[in-house]
A and B are shown apart, each in its own frame.
Chain A
Amino acid sequence: MMLSRSFFSLVLLGVLVTACSSDNWTQDSGAKYFVANLQSRFADGSSAPQTDPLIGLTQSRLAGFNKPTILAHLESSGGYSSATKIARNGQVQTFMTADQISISMNHGVVVATRGIGADLLGATAGQTLAHLRSGNPEDYQRVYRHLDGENHTIRTTFACHMENHGIEKLVFAQRSYATRKMVERCLGLEEEFDNTYWVGTANSLIRKSRQRLSPVSGFVRVHLLVD
């Protein structure tokens, strides 16, 4: 007999018909994920509203926030989301969006994200902060970590230096801030990128930044709405 058998539940069937059970956790519905993926595949952001939420933002709207809050914009997705501070560990504050994506920052320098997918697992920030304060042009190292497709931790080292691009006025929510625009230029073996920080001249708070997360996720823009 020239017959062989592969006994397996077809993915196709799994996604076409939703299973039911006494315990939803024990039954991973292929349909749920497949549908979600199909939707997201076509919802690539191009048809979604891309309006900058900072336009038209007023102080009266911000007055409702009773905790430190940021606005995050992931460039690769085109989406915006506000995030509220939910935890502090030493110098690191963690902000969480309503859909449970978190961004952790050491005085405004992003050191971790969770929930994006290709997250920033961890990054050094001490030298960046020191050079933001001092404006020292000397080279220093930054180390980033992310997970690859096999869940292996990938450690990438970059040689960085900080450039002072002078004073720049930021205006949002009907208020203007005097900032120093600082550009951190980083060079690695396979990648180079610039992180940009707008540091308040009055209190050294990073009011706005554009920071690299991981090779896949690209850059996140962060506005400090309420400090």
Chain B
Amino acid sequence: MKSKHRADEHCIPPVPRVHEYIKPWCLRYEGIQITVWGGAGLNLLRTSVLGLAFLMPVFSFAGTGTRPTLNLYGSPGLIDMPSAEHAPDATLSATVSTFGGSTRTTLSFQILPRLSGSFRYSRIQDFLGVGVKSLYDRSFDLRYRLIDEGQYIPAVTVGMQDFIGTGVYSAEYIAATKTLHPNLKATVGLGWGRLGGVSGYANRTINFGVGGNIDSANWFRGNVAVFGGLEWRTPLEGLNLKVEYSSDHYVPETIDRALFVRNSQVNFAADYRVSDSLSVAAYYLYGSEFGLSASISLNPKHPAAPGSLDPSPLPIKIRQPVRGQAGVYDTTWTQQADGRAILASNLETLLAAQGQQLESLHVTADTAFVRFRNIRNGTASQAIGRVARILTHILPASVETFVIVPVVEGLPVSAITLRRSDLEDLEFRADGVELSWQRAQIGDAAGQGDGILNKELYPNFSWALAPYGDVALFDPDKPVRVDVGVRLTARYEVSPGLVFSGSLRKKFVGNLDSVTRASNSVLQHVRSDYGLYDKQGDPALERLTAEYFFRPGDDLYGRVSVGYLEKMYGGVSAEVLWKPVTSKLGFGAELNYVKQRDFDQLLGFQAYEVVTGHASAYWDMGNGFYSQLDAGRYLAGDWGATYSLDRVFDNGWKVGAFLTLTDVPFSTFGEGSFDKGIKMTIPLSWASGQSSRKRYDMTIRPITRDGGARLNVENRLYGLVSDYHRAPLDRSWGRFWR
């Protein structure tokens, strides 16, 4: 009332409070809605669309129509033999198959349209002694399609099976597949190693307890044998019948050991596609054995809903110029003493309604600098678009330029400059996506937009209590172990960039503490004593840190973390990152001094301490591929480098692999020879269709040893800032209008 009274006195149009601004949008709730007709209700349209959307991943392959069936190794193929076929680009499949005492669990990914890779975990019963010990083995495959199928020529694929590992399934092949009839495919191939007939495997050795060796001297060497078969798509929808002649004589299983009886090289299979994502198959193999398999496939390119199921954003509000003067807007509001504070309050209210938080607002007669935290949107461009739409409702008409600055952990990570008149002009232009991107300016945010700080944000205390699950794989004693419990996290933000946070967890049930194998590593046990941490760490103080994030200069970002940095180490970690907003390259350096924590994961430390750190290079290679090279000193004091290659989808999915080579000799490293693994990130929004920043990260290491082990400090800078930089914004700019 006070401001209104003062405004009246000076004949200044007052800056209205937010409820006056949002009132027009309440009309949609005030309008009479047809709720009784047919009893359908107003939510029916949306609910039904949700239903359609949820089924999208299930039917996501319907459009391709040609996803090949998988073989016992989880690769496109006949029965036990491969074919030349490939899954559609980016297909991810998990297959479990079993026969003759062998169980294979395979994760396959179509890395590129022509290139696929598989990681497999196998169990061969009694392989190390009848009734004594089974062999648990991990293996990697690569397949590359040399020739696409044409009218007269077959598709041709070259593949390497178990090319890095113990070599139990070591084989190479060239396969050709031709569609003879829409319902009939034929495959013929040449195999080496396991697929090289009775003597093909003669020169191969099984490197028990070593792994990680690349046996390139034997690739495509030795006896070669022919394999082949037919696949018939029956009139019964989803049912395929297959017959093959196998060139794998199962020498280690049937000749070296009597694990099953091999009477024939001819195999039979019935493969039934339950849905486009689920297949099951039954087999009769080698004249003596029955087998089964099941596979699940999905494609990161096909989320629950292309676009988003989020509610419609506010339409752009069109300004009214001063009567009779096009392009001229009233600026007398700038004279209102509390006008800017009211604008900030209004903006905070509407941003909060969209799940965003206002950090600060600085507004002049023609320009607004807005800093905000993106709490809800996994896609940065959508968050920026929604802020822009809100600004058209909040800001006086004279404000023509919006400078929108996303803030992450107190760091202003980029500045997106938009003209309000462009928003008005392009909202319904069919080419509005392209034009708005051309007209937007994406730049560095250092020093941009300091303004009225949202005082309600600082200091801020928040907490959360949530369930957790922790999974451990590949221990021969128990290949899958699981813990379930609750995790309490708390966070106290003192000022922009200064955060105290911690994480405490309590196990409810699980068997991670049942590991009985003691580490046999000859290196400092920097990671291999994980079993002791699981045994003694209940409850566990997972993390308790003070972090400070800052911008040392243009294109530079900094972080200092102090405290219990991760479950096994505490100390100090400092990082600096150079990453221009418009560059596809970034460089960083991290230096840590840490001590190993007690196994009980409370407050104590062990004697071991180390200075560790890396220089890092980041490269957005384009076409969805990212490379990262980290070179430096690892936790055990070894020096070396880690190379990571990720395929990153612009909906948030990531699938990647990494390997680390250090000055630790393979023999000293122990089983596995060097550190390597695969990793995945799955965004919740992919499955739900709703905006969310929640992501599930998964790293699968075939084995955890002490060489090439890095500190697991949280909030490394590249991951915090890069989503808001030019290249990813460009690729998903369509979501700006969503």
Q: Which residues of A contact B (CB under 8 A)?
A: 1-14, 16-17, 19-23, 25-28, 30, 33-34, 36-37, 39-45, 48-57, 64-67, 69, 71-72, 74, 76-82, 84, 86-90, 92, 94, 96-102, 104, 106, 111-112, 114-119, 121-124, 143-153, 216-217
Q: Decide if A36 touches B40 in the complex (CB within 8 Å).
A: no
Task: State A85–B408 Cα separation when bound (angstroms).
Answer: 37
Q: Beyond A8-B471, A51-B37, A67-B27, is A117–B308 a contact (Cβ under 8 Å)?
A: yes
Q: Decide if B684 touches A80 in the complex (CB within 8 Å).
A: no
Question: Which residues of A sit under 8 angstroms from B463, Cβ to Cβ?
Answer: 21-22
Task: State A196–B471 Cα separation when bound (angstroms).
Answer: 56
Q: Decide if B28 touches A96 in the complex (CB within 8 Å).
A: yes
Q: 19 interchain pairs (CB within 8 A)?
A: A3-B517, A5-B699, A14-B466, A21-B462, A25-B355, A53-B38, A66-B31, A71-B34, A77-B45, A87-B315, A96-B28, A97-B46, A98-B42, A122-B430, A122-B432, A148-B301, A149-B300, A151-B734, A152-B650
Task: State A79–B42 Cα separation when bound (angstroms).
Answer: 9
Task: State A6–B43 Cα separation when bound (angstroms).
Answer: 40
Q: Decide if B46 touches A99 in the complex (CB within 8 Å).
A: yes
Q: Decide if B52 touches A117 in the complex (CB within 8 Å).
A: yes
Q: Decide if B42 touches A99 in the complex (CB within 8 Å).
A: yes
Residue of A nearest to B470 (CB): A7
Q: Decide if B306 touches A153 in the complex (CB within 8 Å).
A: no
Q: Decide if B688 touches A33 in the complex (CB within 8 Å).
A: yes
Q: Decide if A98 touches B38 in the complex (CB within 8 Å).
A: no
Task: State A101–B29 Cα separation when bound (angstroms).
Answer: 13
Residue of A nearest to B211 (CB): A2
Q: Name A4's contact: one of B43, B466, B473, B697 (CB within 8 Å).
A: B473
Task: State A67–B694 Cα separation when bound (angstroms).
Answer: 40
Q: Name A117's contact: one of B305, B469, B693 (CB within 8 Å).
A: B305
Q: Decide if B428 touches A90 in the complex (CB within 8 Å).
A: yes
B309 to chain A, nearest CB (A): 5
Q: Decide if A3 touches B475 in the complex (CB within 8 Å).
A: yes
Question: Which residues of B sit under 8 angstroms from A13, Cβ to Cβ?
Answer: 467-469, 484
Question: Which residues of B sit under 8 angstroms from A41, Cβ to Cβ?
Answer: 51, 54-55
Task: State A115–B311 Cα separation when bound (angstroms).
Answer: 5
Q: Decide if B430 touches A151 in the complex (CB within 8 Å).
A: no
Q: Decide if B40 touches A53 in the complex (CB within 8 Å).
A: yes
Q: Decide if B462 touches A22 in the complex (CB within 8 Å).
A: yes
Task: State A166–B334 Cα separation when bound (angstroms).
Answer: 59
Which residues 483-528 in B have Cβ within 8 Å of A in the complex? 484, 515, 517-521, 528
Task: State A179–B385 Cα separation when bound (angstroms).
Answer: 40
Question: Which residues of A sit under 8 angstroms from B433, Cβ to Cβ?
Answer: 121-122, 145, 153
Most chain A CB inside 10 Å of its own CB: which residue of B37, B305, B521: B37
A114 to chain B, nearest CB (A): 4
Q: Decide if B671 touches A2 in the complex (CB within 8 Å).
A: yes
Per-position 1/0 for B23-64, Cβ under 8 A of A:
011011101111001111011111111111111100010000
Q: Name B690's contact: one of A17, A27, A33 (CB within 8 Å).
A: A33
Task: State A30–B705 Cα separation when bound (angstroms).
Answer: 33
Q: Decide if A48 touches B40 in the complex (CB within 8 Å).
A: yes
Task: State A16–B467 Cα separation when bound (angstroms).
Answer: 9
Q: Name B56's contact: one of A8, A104, A116, A216 (CB within 8 Å).
A: A216
Which residues 413-430 in B have Cβ within 8 Å of A in the complex? 424, 427-430
Question: Which residues of B sit under 8 angstroms from A88, Cβ to Cβ?
Answer: 318
Task: State A99–B527 Cα separation when bound (angstroms).
Answer: 51
Per-position 1/0 for B698-710, Cβ under 8 A of A:
1111111100000
Q: Beyond A3-B515, A98-B28, is A117–B689 a contact (Cβ under 8 Å)?
A: yes
Count of A-B contacts judged by CB separation below 8 Å: 364
Question: Which residues of A sit under 8 angstroms from B55, Cβ to Cβ?
Answer: 41, 44
Task: State A69–B302 Cα separation when bound (angstroms).
Answer: 35
Task: State A56–B424 Cα separation when bound (angstroms).
Answer: 40
Residue of B nearest to A117 (CB): B305
Residue of A nearest to B301 (CB): A149
Q: Decide if A82 touches B301 in the complex (CB within 8 Å).
A: no
Q: Beyond A13-B484, A94-B315, is A4–B694 a contact (Cβ under 8 Å)?
A: no
Which residues 289-304 in B have Cβ within 8 Å of A in the complex? 300-304
Q: Decide if B46 touches A65 in the complex (CB within 8 Å).
A: no
Q: Decide if B51 touches A150 in the complex (CB within 8 Å).
A: no
Q: Decide if B519 touches A51 in the complex (CB within 8 Å).
A: no
Q: Does B310 lie at the interface of the complex (its beta carbon under 8 Å from any beta carbon of A)?
A: yes
Q: Decide if B738 touches A114 in the complex (CB within 8 Å).
A: yes
Task: State A17–B509 Cα separation when bound (angstroms).
Answer: 15
Task: State A11–B696 Cα separation when bound (angstroms).
Answer: 8
Question: Which residues of B sit under 8 angstroms from A96, Cβ to Cβ?
Answer: 28, 312
Q: Does B687 lie at the interface of the complex (its beta carbon under 8 Å from any beta carbon of A)?
A: yes
Residue of B nearest to A73 (CB): B45
A19 to chain B, nearest CB (A): 3
Question: Which residues of A sit under 8 angstroms from B693, Cβ to Cβ?
Answer: 28
Question: Which residues of A sit under 8 angstroms from B702, Cβ to Cβ?
Answer: 4
Q: Decide if B42 touches A81 in the complex (CB within 8 Å).
A: yes
Task: State A81–B42 Cα separation when bound (angstroms).
Answer: 6
**Extra 7 A-B pairs, beta carbons < 8 Å, given A5-B699, A22-B461, A149-B60:** A14-B467, A37-B687, A48-B47, A51-B39, A69-B31, A86-B315, A99-B46
B97 to chain A, nearest CB (A): 21
Most chain A CB inside 10 Å of its own CB: which residue of B51, B520, B698: B51
Q: Decide if B468 touches A102 in the complex (CB within 8 Å).
A: no
A186 to chain B, nearest CB (A): 14
A157 to chain B, nearest CB (A): 10
Q: Decide if B40 touches A87 in the complex (CB within 8 Å).
A: no
Task: State A124–B430 Cα separation when bound (angstroms).
Answer: 5
Task: State A30–B470 Cα separation when bound (angstroms).
Answer: 17
Task: State A33–B517 Cα separation when bound (angstroms).
Answer: 40
Residue of A nearest to B31 (CB): A84
Q: Does B307 lie at the interface of the complex (its beta carbon under 8 Å from any beta carbon of A)?
A: yes
Q: Decide if A79 touches B34 in the complex (CB within 8 Å).
A: no
Q: Decide if B27 touches A36 in the complex (CB within 8 Å).
A: no
B704 to chain A, nearest CB (A): 5
Q: Beyond A4-B702, A121-B738, A149-B306, is A9–B428 a contact (Cβ under 8 Å)?
A: no
Q: Decide if A86 touches B468 in the complex (CB within 8 Å).
A: no
Q: Decide if A4 touches B684 in the complex (CB within 8 Å).
A: no
Task: State A64–B688 Cα separation when bound (angstroms).
Answer: 37
Q: Decide if B696 touches A122 in the complex (CB within 8 Å).
A: no
Task: State A118–B517 Cα separation when bound (angstroms).
Answer: 52
Residue of A nearest to B567 (CB): A7
Q: Decide if A77 touches B49 in the complex (CB within 8 Å).
A: yes
B36 to chain A, nearest CB (A): 9
Q: Does B596 lie at the interface of the complex (its beta carbon under 8 Å from any beta carbon of A)?
A: no
Q: Name A123's contact: one of B430, B528, B689, B731 (CB within 8 Å).
A: B430
Task: State A76–B737 Cα separation when bound (angstroms).
Answer: 23
Q: Decide if B45 touches A1 in the complex (CB within 8 Å).
A: no
Task: State A180–B722 Cα separation when bound (angstroms).
Answer: 54
Q: Decide if A28 touches B687 in the complex (CB within 8 Å).
A: no
Task: State A60–B579 Cα separation when bound (angstroms).
Answer: 64
Q: Decide if B40 touches A20 in the complex (CB within 8 Å).
A: no
Q: Decide if B738 touches A102 in the complex (CB within 8 Å).
A: no
Question: Which residues of A sit under 8 angstroms from B697, Cβ to Cβ?
Answer: 7-8
Q: Decide if A145 touches B315 in the complex (CB within 8 Å).
A: no
Residue of B nearest to A45 (CB): B48
Task: State A76–B316 Cα separation when bound (angstroms).
Answer: 28
Task: State A162–B238 Cα separation when bound (angstroms).
Answer: 41
B552 to chain A, nearest CB (A): 28
Question: Which residues of B sit under 8 angstroms from A80, Cβ to Cβ?
Answer: 34, 37-38, 40, 44-45
Question: Which residues of A sit under 8 angstroms from B732, Cβ to Cβ?
Answer: 150-152
Question: Which residues of A sit under 8 angstroms from B464, Cβ to Cβ?
Answer: 19-23, 26-27
